[in-house]
Amino acid sequence: MSTLWSKGTQATELVEDFTVGNDRILDMRLAKYDVLGSLAHIRMLERIGLLSKDELDTLTRALNSILGEIERGEFVLEDDVEDIHSQVELLLTRRLGDIGKKIHSGRSRNDQVLVDVKLFLKDEVLKLREETLTLFNTLQSLSEKHKDTLLPGYTHGQVAMPSSFGLWFGAYAEALADDMYMLRGAYNVTDQNPLGSAAGYGNSFPLDRQMTTELLGFGSMDYNVVAAQLSRGKTERAVASAMGAIALTLNKFAADCCMYMCPNYGFIKFPDTLTTGSSIMPHKKNPDVWEIMRGNCNRIMATENQIGMLCSNMPHGYHREFQLLKDIVWPSLDLMHKCLFMADYMLRHISVNEHILDAPIFDYLFTVEEVNRRTLEGMPFRDAYKSVGIEVNDGKFRYQGAEGRSNGELKPEDLHHTHIGSICNLCNDSIKAKMEKASEF
């Protein structure tokens, strides 16, 4: 294999296999960004006099040609070429001769890789933002659609107090808004240009780092060249932390759905095409999608810890372990995209049970409502609590809050939960405004 760092000797195939691993395959995702980074770099080199105008034009045309090959799926990493950075430079040299060799002036593969990774992760974070917004909008729509459908709330896994589907769907929508703040933070960490840090200690060429920052669309730069190299691993960990926040929200929602789909609950249903059966039990409708999502979200949440374990105990500067970050982060990103898509897809086909509270098992759901009703009528709270408790123990408890209804069916307004964020005051508009603010990046 041809390596840029070769000094006349070749590593054995055994060492190459161990140290390269999956890097050549994973690197293909960076090919586009490597060319974009090079396009900005050569414009800067022309500005500071290391390239002539004609050389810049020639290199720009050749790089744009390679970019077109990448976008059409024609770009190939040859068997004897180490990585995509080497491949791009090799193609330029083949096509342009000595001009192609000038492209690496003033940079190291260290800052070249950093630029590629940061540009790639910026795009990935923006995709996650849009996918999260899509799921958020679906949850808000369901919250409004089912705001009048009551649902049991649980604490310690026991029937506790009345909730509603509007409250349930709306809760996860707002949780995603909190997650979006994490995603915005990850974007801000990623949106800093490391180009010009070279191998980690700068360069004796008069590089114009502000120019490349603007050309590449970064909001700022990693100013200190050593700090730029320190961002290796930290950037990936910031993105992983944001994904972990989203994954935790989806994990809990998936767990809810698995429980609510169980016939013992029977709160929600999905079409048969979105569930699976059993090889011997013809009645089964298994929540496989939500179970796989629950498991994959656990894997995503583990990503941040894997990065932390990989990147700790190393002094500053480049170390070969950083190459392994792609093995950890790339698959996690794929899982996150799939989970967000599938959660939204499933919710577009959800059906809710509008008569859950007809079952007598939920009669005690309204004990707090009755305590509060009696307290509002003048009974001291502790006395009201004790009297309702006695009725529960004697099997005589009945909630008196909706006696006037001819059909006996309770509605959220019968529960008098009017404060901000409660059953009768979901605040979905305020939550939408919160998400709009969080997603401004």
Query: Which tens digit of pLDDT belongs to each residue from 51-89?
Result: 999 999 999 999 999 999 999 999 998 888 888 888 999
Residue type (1 letter), 274: L
- Which residue, 200, 418, 399, is CA-closest to 314? 200
Least confident among 237-246, 320-329, 398-407: 398-407
H or E element, residue 11: none
Q: What is the distance, to the nearest Å, from the Cα of residue 368 to the centroid of all Cα atoms in its chain?
A: 38
- Residues 345 and 256 sit within 8 Å (Cβ to Cβ): no
Closest of 306, 319, 303 to residue 113, by C-alpha: 319
**285-312 pLDDT, tens digit each:** 888 999 999 999 999 999 999 999 988 8
Q: Domain 117-145+165-203+219-356 belongs to what topology?
A: Fumarase C; Chain A, domain 2 (1.20.200)
Domain extent listing, the chain: 13-104, 117-145+165-203+219-356, 358-431
Evaluate whether 13-104 and 117-145+165-203+219-356 have a shared fold: no
Residue 330: partners with Cβ closer than 8 Å, 6 or more residues away:
26, 29
Query: Does the pLDDT at position 10 exceed 80?
Result: no
Q: What is the pLDDT, as a whole number, of residue 312?
A: 87
Q: Which of 154-168, 269-283, 334-348 has the lowest mean pLDDT?
A: 269-283
Name the burial class of residue 65, with classes exposed (0-12), middle (13-18) and buried (19+) by CB atoms within 10 angstroms of its CB.
Answer: middle
pLDDT value at 17 more than 80? no
For domain 13-104, give the CATH number: 1.10.275.10
d(CA 327, CA 323): 8
Q: Residue 263 and residue 134: Cα distance in Å, rounded?
A: 30
CA angle (191 as vertex; 187, 194 as ends), nearest 5: 140
182-196, pLDDT tens digit by residue? 999 999 999 999 999
Give me the DSSP letters along 273-302: GGSB--SS-TT--B-HHHHHHHHHHHHHHH
Please report which confidence band the pLDDT of residue 278 belongs to, taking 50, 70 and 90 as the band edges: low
Interval 171-180 mean pLDDT = 98
Query: Comparing C-alpha atoms, which of 110, 131, 111, 121 is closest to residue 191?
Result: 121
CA 379 and chain centroid, separation: 50
